[in-house]
Every structure is written in C-alpha cells, then in structure tokens.
Structure 1
Amino acid sequence: MKRVKNINQGKEKDLSFLDGKCAQKVRSRTLKRSIFLFFLFGALMVFSIADLKAQVVSPFQGGHYTTGLKNIRDMANPPSGLFVLWYNSSFSSNTYVDRNGDKFKSIKLDQFHPKLPNINVDIDLNGFTTIPAIFWASEFKILGGANFMAGISPSYMSVDASLITERNGIVIDTVYTNISKSKVSGFSDTFFAPVGLSWDKEKIDFTFLYGFYAPTGKYETGSSDGLGLGFWTHQFQGFGYFYPTADKSTAILLGLTYEANSKIKDAEVTPGNRFSLEWGLSQYLSERLEVGVMGGHNWQVSDDKGEQVYWDPTFHDKKNTIAFNAGYWLWSNRLMANLKYTTDYGARQRFEMNSWLLNFVFVTNAFTGKSSK
C-alpha cells in the first residue's frame, strides 16, 4: 500500500465527506484527544500529565510505592550500623490496559462521525530508574527488643516514550502514519523514613516503617516533562517473615503498605489512597546463593477528591506483579548482588510493565555503635 507520512493531508482526504464547519470541529476534537493520549502513558508510570489545552490534572494517577522492587529479605531484621540498598530497574511496556481490562490499541473516531475510521495505536515505553537507599540501624534495643532505624532514598529516572498512530483512510490504498516521541530524565521524588522498628525473634521477624515522599521531582500541572508526582505521600508499612528452619535458610514474606496522599500542587485534586500486598519465598541453596519468587498487588482504595476531579472517581485502578530473582553474596555478609525479573498482569487503567533489576546490598559496618577493640 502507498504510505503517506503527512498526517494533515490524510485528514483532509478522510474528512472530505463532511461540510467545512463539521470537519473543522472534528479535527479540533481529534487533535486534542491525540495530544492527551500521547502524554498519557508517561503519566501512568512516573508523573501526572494534563491535557495541554485544558491545563488540568490527568485522571490517571499512580502512586509512589512500587511493588516487587525490593529484594525479598530487605525488610527483615537489619544489621546494626550503616547499610545501603541500591535498586536499578530497566523497564519497558507496549501495553496499556483500560478500566475494562482491554488493551488500548486504537483511538475511536466513530463517536464523532460514523464514517470516520479508527486510528490504530502502537505504544513503546522504555525507561531506567536508579534508587539508592541509605539506612542506619541501632545496636541498642527499644520497645521490647526492637532495633530502631531511619533512612533516606532519592531516585533518578530516564523515560523514553513514543506513540505511533496509523489510520486507514477512506481511500482504501492509503495509510497515514504519525510518530510522536518524548524523553525526560532527572531526579524524582525523595523518600524519607524517620521511624523504623524491627523485632527479631527465633522464627519470626517483624518490621514497621513509617516514611513519606516529598515532591522534590520536577512537576508543573499541565506540563508534559514532569518527573515527580506533585504531591506528598505518607507511607505506613508492616513486613513479617517466618523461618521454618533453624538456620533461616528459608524465609516466607508477607508485607503490607498503605499510602495516604495529599493534594496535588496547584490543583484542587487529591489522589485516592493506595494499598499494596506483597508476598515472597526466599531459599538459600548455599551460604552465598539465594533464589526466590515474589508477588505484589497494588490497589487504589479511596476515591480521587477535589473540585477539579472531572472524571468518574468511583473507578479505582489496580495492578499485579510477579518476580523471580537470584542473589549472590560477592563478599560474604557484606556485599550482595541480586538479579530480578518482574512482569505485570491483571492491570486496570495502568501500564503492564516488564522489568529487569540489578539490586545491591552493602553492609558497611560503619556507625554500628560497637566499641572498637
């Protein structure tokens, strides 16, 4: 078939059966929707994007917390002193799932006129995130034998997205193609954890962590190049571990996370709160080699609120993740590398991502509170 890259010419031919006033109205509405849909997928992963014309907040709000990012045993009772958890994720997606569970493949134009053909859409989203987390855990015990801990975790990301729209014209032998691209990179929002408590029992560990995300990443309502979400989040977490064997070579994880969100900067919108459930099974095959499987489930659990909420707030998005990992202590009990693959499923109004992660755990043995000999 003949391929024409001038999308504007294509529209003139396709709209030739309409009168001038009606054709102009359809062009305007189609352009606005195409612009909105292009910036949609960046919003769902790392930042909120608004329709550039209307300068309003996007209805597609995600949360700060990402299930499946951590190593399985990261929230077990920590070593005393300063330690570093460094997460590195390379992710990609070509699938956006709408609220009905259908993959987004086309822009429907027949709602404007029954003779208008649909626009086929191909999505290509790629990115990289690096998140160093620096924590300190006490040697002393409080509140019935708990170690106290606190930490900070900045994040840097780069996201490259493209949208290819291809429309079959009224003229059968003609296809109109348009390619749009967007790439942004920089520091995103920062996580602060001022209060952590971890209890270590014979067969059970339990860790509670309170933290908050500060909107330090670039964000402006209506902008297309944001890297932060534009709002504060208070995060409450509880992680429990059960060790069936005396040497703790096997660990079973159950983790709960609750996110309470504030109002978006310069907008009368407060995104709904979120709840996550994570589970995992970790098994050491030797003193240094660990393998595991981990699952994560994330739900929006309250309505979006505010005067500028123009969408249906009663619909709540969700996404599930499963991960497989293998870790090895490069330096015994001091430095571990963990390779992980994660994939999403069962999403609603979210991207389904595939990710490769290379995570590191480094126990520095600094600031342990122990006197040197």
Structure 2
Amino acid sequence: MPYQKLALLTALGIATVATPAFAVNGHYPPGIEGLGAAAAPPPGLYYRGYLLHYDIDEFNDASGDALPGNNSGTVTALAHRLIWMTGQTFLGADYGVETIIPMLDTELDVGPGSFSDDGVGDIFVGPVILGWHGQQWDVTFATGHWFDTGDFDATNPASIGKGYETTMLTLGGMWHFDAARTWNVSALSRYEIKTEQGETEITPGDSWLVEWGLGHRLANGLELGLVGYDAWQLEADDGAATDDKAERHAIGAEVGYFWPAAGVILKGAYYHEYDASGGGMRGIESEGDALRLQFTKFL
C-alpha cells in the first residue's frame, strides 16, 4: 500500500471515545486523534482501537482555581471503532460511515466522597464521512450522533453514560508543506449539540473544540510531532444553577509508526493540560494528563 494512502489513514480523525470527566461538557474527549487528524482514508474497511488513560490532578472552578482538598481520579477507556470508506463519492468527496463502541472505567475522589463506574458507554454512529484530497491538502467533513446507551446516575459523577444524546459535526483540514508529504500541519474542529438530560431536565450548552498538530515523517517511517487541543463550552446549560462555561487547553507530543506489509499503524501521544475552568451542570472541570495509544488495522 503506498505511503500516501497510509498517511491518510493515520490522519483519520472523525470521532472516538467518550469519557465523563475528560470531555468539555459533551461526549467527545479532545486529543484523541492528534497528528493529521483531518484526512479521511482511501476506500476500504478499517478497525481502530483506542486506549486512553487520563490522570486527574485537580478539579477547577469557573475561575480556573483548584478546589480545596485532595481531589483526583482516573479515566481508562478502550474504544472499538469500525470505519468503512465505501468507494463511492458525493460532492466530489470520498464517502464513508463509522461506528464506535467505548468501554470505560472511571474512578473519582472528590472531597470526602469516592465514586466509580465501569462498562459500555454511549455508542456513536456516524452515517457521513466526506473526504476531499488534493496534491498537498486534505479536507474532511463528518456528522454523527452519540446515543444515550451507557448507564447514567445523576448522583454519581463517575457515570459512564452522559444521560443525554449529542449530535456532532466535524470539519478539518490538513496541509503538507512539501510534495513528498514529510511535513504537515492540521486542525480538526468538532461542534457538539446536546439533548436534554432526562434525570435532571438540564440541556447542556453547545461546545466546540479544535485539535491541532504539526508533524514530520522521517525516512524510516517514524512520524514525530507537536500536538494540542483547545475546547470551549459556547452556551450556558439550560436549566443549570450557573451560567458558567467550561474550558480546557493542552499541549503534548506524539509518535507513530506504520508497517505497510502488515497494514498496521501504531501511534502514541502524551498531553498535559495547562489550563481548565469549570462550568455547566457540574460547575467544575478536571485538569490532568492523558496518555493515548492507537492501533489501526486494514481489514
């Protein structure tokens, strides 16, 4: 398989796992895709497994100040994702579909209480992936829906389900500085629109995030780069006790490698969150460090 096609798959970034403490007032946790997260792959069927471990150092209020006391936690997620690029085109773009089934284990220590939950989280179905490709650029648009399938308990902040549904719109672009595609810069944005949370009758406000990366592929196939994300809650939650809006920012590094003969790609990244502020129905936002591993196989 030519490298250009492999590079497109490593860059695939349409949707992924949902974690209760990591996402900004929504389902999508930022920093999952990283380098080149704005290019759809060539026609074919693909499996991608995500392993995410998020260590929470503190919980911050709306001003970005840490809550008093020893507050910490962990989120570990394993998500199974299938992507099918059909070989058909629409509006000049390659057309595909996808689905994601996340499995989560959450442990939180907040104030005097400890909370935990594990199991299958909210499932994502994406009926539209559109990928446009040029000589040195790629553009991707996608839409999909997170369904309220995971268990949710309003009294348990570690619940693996959200208790509401989310429609997610994705738009991103990638530019290669040279014809050989050894250097690239990318940005991938996601906009989330939520339904009402049944148990609380609160409707979370819309949120928007951008994942970005600057990468370089070496002659031996190793890819290295700088990655980061910025996420904002744009609207206050309807029915919540506060009008505060959540926000978080992070920077990190990523490394990846591919085996063309085996049709396998491995990628890993580390992110450090340097700023986070709480808002919405929780009133607080976690701040910590994340380790993310990806395994991709061409089926």
Report the TM range for the smaller structure's normalisation. Answer: 0.7 to 0.9
Shift of 1:102: 1.2
Out of 83, 86, 93, the residue aligned to residue 138 of structure 1 is: 86
The answer (yes or no) to whether the contact 2:40–2:129 under 8 Å persists in 1 is no
Distance 1:44 1:82 in 2: 29
Distance 2:22 2:185 in 1: 30
Out of 242, 245, 255, the residue aligned to residue 326 of structure 1 is: 255
Distance of aligned partners of 1:358 and 1:164 in 2 relative to their CA distance in 1, 3 Å threshold? same
The answer (yes or no) to whether the contact 2:264–2:297 under 8 Å persists in 1 is yes
Shift of 1:340: 0.9
Stretches of structure 1 that go unaligned for 5 or more consecutive residues are 1-42, 48-60, 106-120, 166-179, 365-373
Distance of aligned partners of 1:181 and 1:312 in 2 relative to their CA distance in 1, 3 Å threshold? closer
Out of 38, 60, 74, the residue aligned to residue 97 of structure 1 is: 60
Out of 201, 210, 215, the residue aligned to residue 282 of structure 1 is: 215
The answer (yes or no) to whether the contact 2:20–2:27 under 8 Å persists in 1 is no
Whether 1:305 and 2:235 are equivalent positions in the alignment is no
Equivalent residue, structure 2, for 1:153: 100
Matches within 5 A, 1:165-184: 180-184=113-117
The answer (yes or no) to whether the contact 1:70–1:87 under 8 Å persists in 2 is no
Shift of 1:130: 0.8
Q: Max radius of gyration: which structure?
A: 1
Stretches of structure 2 that go unaligned for 5 or more consecutive residues are 1-18, 279-284
Task: Give the secondary structure class of the aligned counterpart of 1:339.
Answer: strand
Q: What percent of counterpart residues are identical?
A: 23
CA offsets per residue over residues 142-185 of structure 1, 9 Å max, x none? 312x11010000101111223465xxxxxxxxxxxxxx433321
Q: How many residues align?
A: 275
Distance 1:127 1:269 in 2: 24
Task: Give the structure-2-normalised TM-score.
Answer: 0.86
The answer (yes or no) to whether the contact 1:218–1:226 under 8 Å persists in 2 is yes
Out of 31, 37, 46, the residue aligned to residue 83 of structure 1 is: 46
Matches within 5 A, 1:134-283: 134-144=82-92, 146-163=93-110, 180-223=113-156, 226-283=159-216
Task: Give the structure-1-normalised TM-score.
Answer: 0.69
Shift of 1:358: 1.4
Which one-letter code corresponds to 2:102 in the other structure?
S
Distance of aligned partners of 1:338 and 1:103 in 2 relative to their CA distance in 1, 3 Å threshold? same
CA offsets per residue over residues 42-97 of structure 1, 9 Å max, x none? x96069xxxxxxxxxxxxx8211111111423431302110122110111112111
Segments of 4+ in structure 1 off by > 6 A? none
Distance 1:305 1:336 in 2: 42
Matches within 5 A, 1:30-109: 45=21, 62-105=25-68
Distance of aligned partners of 1:312 and 1:124 in 2 relative to their CA distance in 1, 3 Å threshold? closer
Equivalent residue, structure 1, for 2:4: none
Out of 317, 329, 354, the residue aligned to residue 246 of structure 2 is: 317
Distance of aligned partners of 1:242 and 1:255 in 2 relative to their CA distance in 1, 3 Å threshold? same
Shift of 1:323: 2.3
Whether 1:127 and 2:75 are equivalent positions in the alignment is yes
- Which one has a larger percent helix, Structure 1 or Structure 2? 1
Distance 1:278 1:46 in 2: 14
RMSD: 2.0
Task: Give the secondary structure class of the aligned counterpart of 1:160.
Answer: strand
Which one-letter code corresponds to 1:155 in the other structure?
P
Distance 1:250 1:224 in 2: 42
Distance 1:71 1:84 in 2: 17
Which one-letter code corresponds to 1:258 in the other structure?
Y
Shift of 1:204: 1.1
The answer (yes or no) to whether the contact 1:46–1:227 under 8 Å persists in 2 is no
Task: Give the secondary structure class of the aligned counterpart of 2:70.
Answer: strand
Distance 1:205 1:150 in 2: 18
- Which one has a larger percent strand, Structure 1 or Structure 2? 2
Which one-letter code corresponds to 2:104 in the other structure?
M
Which one-letter code corresponds to 1:90 in the other structure?
H
